[in-house]
Structures are given as structure tokens and as C-alpha cells.
Amino acid sequence: MSATPAECAPSLESQSFAFESLVAVSEQTTNVWSQLQRLLFLQDYNTRVVLFGAAMLGGAAGVVGVFTLLRKRALMGDAISHATLPGITISFLAASIWGFDEKSLPLLLVGATVTGLLGVSTILLLRGLTKLKEDTSLSIVLSVFFGAGIALLGIIQQMPKGHAAGLESFILGKTASMVVSDAQLIAAASITCLAGCSLLFKELKLLCFDENFAGSRGYPIVKLDLILMASVVVISIVGLQAVGLIMVVALLVTPAASSRFWTDDLTKMTLISAGIGMFSGVIGAAVSALYPRLPSGAMIVLFCATCFMISMTLGVKRGLLVRSLRRLKINRSIGRQHFLRTMYEVMEQKQQLGLEQSITINDLLPARSWSKNRLATIVSRSAREEWITRIHQEVRFTKKGRFEAERLTREHRLWELFLIHHADIAPTRVDREADHIEHVLEPEIVAELELLLIEDQRELPQSPHGFDHWKQTDDSKNGNQKPNGNQKPSAEPPVSRARTGK
């Protein structure tokens, strides 16, 4: 039979089973409080080392992650950490063939770095030279390199002395059993990356936001890109060894994505992201040290995810809450503007028809497609904000409301006229188009429209189309013959106070 037993394939991602040493420690100390005390005051040497390592890694990954996120390469870390596997196995094989110590960490790290960089270059080449897109290149490198690594592992497993056990523990990651030399390695790698990122901050910023501009200013884009990717490789490799494959992906992606909700400023974003990374690293490691059976890598990821959820809801720049409040505000203002204009137009119609001037809610209801409840809400809100006064069913403009309604009607009609004269849109169709645009017309544009469209600039132009809704329902109610909407209004057109006020 030519099959490889399943157990041959090591599980890269079950790294967190390696937390057992810590479980043993924690079970000795039954009192959680005393242990919390030990943790808080960092009495335990091992805990100190673990927390330090996790914090350094989280911070550095947070910083590097910001740049990869802005380059839209968030999953680069995923591809790279998978691409290191063949390097590790090849250096293991090479070492055992030439008689070196096959479990020596530097050797394996060198191998991992080499194939990691090879993976990055393959991604960049695939993207640059073929028509394949970024995501496809990433998953090609991820799966093919990892597949090669798995195939090589299948061979290592059969080597007479080469028990892959040591290799596995290297690949698996071991936050909880991190020793001083690991923490030192993490610290060295993190400080290198942090130093690189802060020295090249301006250059990387340009690279992230406007690659072509950076190129035109003479910055070496390809080299900068490679430096950035190399730091991702370094972080992935030390992280891979410390917290495991999936965890390092999370550390590279999640803090950066969270910080984006809080700010638009790259410096602040970098600091926030580093903070979230460090915080999650420390808290995750601490919680997993306190309680048995909480794998530290997974806990770090879960704290990152919690930070992400909080940021996504509460973030002051792009958070869901802020954005929905903003949208609510805009919707209300649009609703109010529609209401005021409709009321004004109804009033104008009544004037033209020589009817009594008072307007009731029932007059307004057929003028737009709104429900009774919605109209009632808008009316009461407008009354509260003192745009109108309301006496039972009758509504009246306040001074401020009339002023605003005139301004809105004027802008609406200006835009309608513009559409008819300059965009060749039929008069029957301009009303809806103008409905959308009237809320965002800037004063400069209004002034320009006035110059372009009307001679007497104090005049409120009359509506270029009839008020169908109003007219029809009115017809059916009263059976009166109504004049055409295009007919000259008898009433004197109100002056534009917006303009005279200037």
C-alpha cells in the first residue's frame, strides 16, 4: 500500500495544544486570586517572558499590518506564513543530509525566510507579469507552497533519525512555553520592523496612498514594497513560531482593520493599531495563563476580534453607530426640506387658484408619496424645530420656515430649469431629478445657475411643470376646472431673500 498514514501530517494549527506546561503550573495553584496577584505583579518569571513577547509581537504586527491593510494586502501574512513551510522542511532535510543539527533554530528560520521571500516575489511577479489579480496570486502561492511543504514533510517523517517532533514544535507555536531566547528573538525582530517602519514612515505612507505619485517623485517603489513585504515575512515567521499560523494572520489583520474605524490619520492609526495589538497580546496571554484550557494564541485572537467589534460599532470616524447617526441626520434634513418645499408649493397653488391660504395636513398628504404617519412625524418635528406652527390640522410657516422654504423651492426650480435647458430632459421628468440634487446644491452653484437661467435674479422662477398630484386629487375632490400649471401665476413671485440678504 502506498498511502501515508494520516498521523504523519502534523497539524500546524493545533499549536495551542502546547499550552500544557502552563496548565500544569496553574493546576498547582488552586487559588485563582493568588495567581492573579502573581500575574499582576509579574512575579512569575515565565509569565513575564510570555507577556513581554506577546506584547512586542502584537505591537509590531499592528504597525506592519496598517501598511499592508492600506496596500490592500491584508491577507499577505496568511500567504507568507503558509509559504514558509517548504523552507523549514528543506532546511531540515538539508541539515540532516549534511550532518548539521537539523533542529537548530537559526537554520530553520533562514529557510523559512528564504521561501517566505520567494513567496512574496512570486506573488508580486504573478500580479505584475500576468493578468492574475492580487487575491488569486495570494491563494496560488499559499496553496502551492504549502502543498510542497506538506509533501516534503511526508518524506521527513520517513527519515530514519529525523523525527519531525522537534520540527513540529517549531512550526506549531508555543506562546505559553515561550522561553527567554524566543522572547529575545521576537523583541529583536519587532524592534527591527518598528525601526524600519518609523524611519521609512513618510515613504511608506506615500506608497500606501499614491503609489504612482511616489514613483514620479523618484521614490524606489519596488524596493519600498519589498522592504514592507520583508517585514511582513519577519513578523510572520517569529509570530508563526510564537503564536501559530492563524494567530499571526489575525495579529496582522485585525488591529489594523480596527484602528481604521477610529481615525483618518495614518500616524494615529498606526499608534492605535499597535496599541490594540499589544493590548490583545498581553490580555490574551494573561487570561490564558490565569485559567486552564484557554489556548493563548486563540485568546489573543479573540481579544483582537473583540477590539474589532467594539471599534466597528463605536469607532468615531467610520464606526457603524456614528455612520448611522450621520445617515439619520441627513435623512431627517432631507425629509424636512421636502416637506417645507411641498408646503410652499401647495401654498403657491392655492394662491394661484384664489383659494384660501390656510394649509391643512390633508392638503399636503396627496402632494408627495408619503404615508400619513410619516407626514405626521415630519410635521411635529418641524413644529418642534420652529419651522412651522401648527394649530390642529392647519400648518403655517414661521418666518424662518418661510425663508427656508423659499430658498429650497428656488434651488429646486433652478435645477429643473437647468435640466430642461441644458440637459435636454423633458419637463415632466425633471421634478424627480431635481428632488435628489436640491439638497446638495452649494451657494456658488446656485449663484451660477441664477446667472445662467434667469434674468431678474431676485425672482423665484415658476415651476416648469404642473403639480400633478395636487391638481388631480384636487380635481376629483372639487370637480373644479383648474388652470394649467404652466400658466402665469397671478400672485406676485416672492423675492429671493437668500440673495437679497447677501
Partner 1 sequence: MTLDLNWNWMLDGWITAVAVVCAIACALLGNFLVLRRMSMLGDAITHAVLPGLAVAFLISDSRASLPMFIGAAIVGVLTAFFTEWIRRAGKVDEGASMGVVFTTLFAIGLVMIVQTIDQVDLDANCVLYGSIELTPLDTIDVAGWQIPRAFCTLFLVMLINLTFVIVFYKELKVTSFDPSLAGSIGFSPAIIHYALMVLVAITAVASFESVGSVLVVAMMVVPAATAYLLTHRLHIMICFSILAAIISAVAGHVSAIAIPASFGFRSTSTAGMMAVISGLLLFLAAMFAPRQGIAVKLWNQLALSWHILGDDIVALLYRVDEKQANQRTEKAWIREVLLCSPLSFTVVMTWLRIRGEIVIKTNELVLTDQGQHRAQNLVRSHRLWEQYLLDQVGIDPSRVHPQAEQMEHYTDKKMRQQLHQVTEKPSIDPHGSPIPEERSTK
Q: Which is nearer to partner 1, 296 or 352 (CB)?
A: 296
Match 506549531 to its residue by C-alpha cell. 172
Q: In this structure, what is the dihedral angle of CA atoms 161, 164, 169, 172, given to the nearest 10 degrees?
A: 170
| Number of Cβ atoms within 10 Å of the Cβ of 242 | 28
Nearest-approach distance from CB 478 to partner 1, in angstroms: 42
Nearest-approach distance from CB 331 to partner 1, in angstroms: 17
Nearest-approach distance from CB 452 to partner 1, in angstroms: 33
Q: Which is nearer to partner 1, 204 or 379 (CB)?
A: 204
From the list 437, 436, 455, the residue with the least C-alpha distance to 445 is: 437
- State how far the Cα of 166 lies from the Cα of 58, in Å rounded to an integer: 26
Nearest-approach distance from CB 148 to partner 1, in angstroms: 5
Nearest-approach distance from CB 321 to partner 1, in angstroms: 11
Relative to beta strand 388-391, strand 359-360 is: unpaired
Q: Which is nearer to partner 1, 293 or 477 (CB)?
A: 293
- State how far the Cα of 229 lies from the Cα of 177, in Å rounded to an integer: 29
- DSSP strands (E only) in 105-147: none
HSE at residue 368, side-chain half, CA atoms within 13 A, is 23
Q: Which is nearer to partner 1, 163 or 421 (CB)?
A: 163
Nearest-approach distance from CB 133 to partner 1, in angstroms: 5
- State how far the Cα of 109 lies from the Cα of 221, in Å rounded to an integer: 27
Q: Which is nearer to partner 1, 229 or 301 (CB)?
A: 301
Q: Which is nearer to partner 1, 82 or 471 (CB)?
A: 82
| Number of Cβ atoms within 10 Å of the Cβ of 26 | 20
User: In a 3-state reduction of DSSP, which class is residue 102?
Assistant: coil
Nearest-approach distance from CB 371 to partner 1, in angstroms: 27
From the list 69, 105, 65, 71, the residue with the least C-alpha distance to 88 is: 105
Supply 304's cell numbers. 483582537
Q: Which is nearer to partner 1, 191 or 330 (CB)?
A: 330
* Burial class, 332, CB count within 10 angstroms (exposed 0-12 / middle 13-18 / buried 19+): middle
Alpha-carbon distances, residue 19 vs 251, 293, 377 (angstroms) = 19, 8, 60
Q: Which is nearer to partner 1, 147 or 443 (CB)?
A: 147
Supply 381's cell numbers. 418635528
Nearest-approach distance from CB 300 to partner 1, in angstroms: 8
